[in-house]
Structure 1
């Protein structure tokens, strides 16, 4: 990676961390945050060594402010997997794949974290009906997650495409 490319990626990474932490700690509708979008976007756009750690930095920094909860490994692990999903689609990151990646990331987070709630918290009876009840009760949170993920993914990827397209017109290409 070129030195200027490295600086650009570091700057974008710092910006995404600041956005992610700020949006998590400021008042917002439940689960309407940019973390899944940051994980997917960074996986597609940034070098994997930066992308895979970025959502974890967002979560660690914001969880230090928000306070502890029992599901750290599951929430953090979910975002790590979404970053891996971004890395997997980066070579062919069409709008349809980004859209499906966003839906997949939202669904992954919903399934994993609510399975954790069912298994590790005493909120639901440990039975199939308790598991179903857990997932049903989490649907309003899933709706907000999905809406937030779609909004922020659209924002991040859309702005990135505009900047990339616009900056290419500002900087003349070298000819041989």
Structure 2
């Protein structure tokens, strides 16, 4: 008996979301992967766009709210849109390039706003460079986390399609 594509996609995403609450390396989170995956596999676009917001709101309720929430939340919505665009173009190569671009973009955008708004760095070129250099250790964890979660979500879903548990021909 084949399972609903939406049910399987949501179940895989919930598993990834739970991992956000387990002990993990800094920035080693599933949210970018879930945003991309939801954009590709959820048939309801509004659900695909709002799911990352829900993940972040719920987890930030426990982790704590911060001033960069609009930037980070907006980024994940944009990345869900990237997933919607990628829907009919999914391949190992497109996922690798998209994941790398997402990791780099997240690093560049969020650290720019840290530099601009935190008051921790001087608002000049030297301060901007200092901010990015200080963030490099977090970037490596984010890059690794995005690679692991994108591979895991898309790989698990692909295997479920290949085994017939999820119909491959049905539109998501």
CA distance, structure 2, for counterparts of residue 153 and residue 135 of structure 1 = 25
- Residue in structure 2 matched with residue 166 of structure 1 by the alignment: 163
The offset of 1:67, in angstroms, is 1.3
Match in the other structure for 2:20: 24
Structure 1 residue aligned with 2:10: 13
Deviations 1:116-173 (A, max 9, x none): 10111011110011111111111110110000000110011111000001016x98x9
Q: Which residue of 1 aligns with 2:92?
A: 95
Q: How does 1:72-91 map to 2 (within 5 A)?
A: 72-91=69-88
SS at match of 1:75: helix
The higher radius of gyration belongs to 1
The 4+ residue runs of structure 1 with deviation greater than 6 A are none
Structure 1 residue 41: Cα displacement: 1.0
Give me the TM-score of the superposition, normalised by structure 2: 0.88
Structure 1, unpaired ranges of 5+: none
Q: Secondary structure at the match of 1:92?
A: coil
Partner of 1:132: 129
Measure the CA separation in 2 of the matches of 1:14 and 1:86: 18
Q: Please give the root-mean-square deviation of Cα atoms over the aligned residues, in Å.
A: 2.2
Q: Which residue of the other structure, out of 31, 36, 57, is the alignment partner of 1:35? A: 31
**From 132, 153, 158, the counterpart of 1:156:** 153
In the alignment of these two chains, the number of paired residues is 166
2:56 matched residue in structure 1 = 59
Asked whether the 8 Å contact 1:17–1:58 carries over to 2, the reply is no
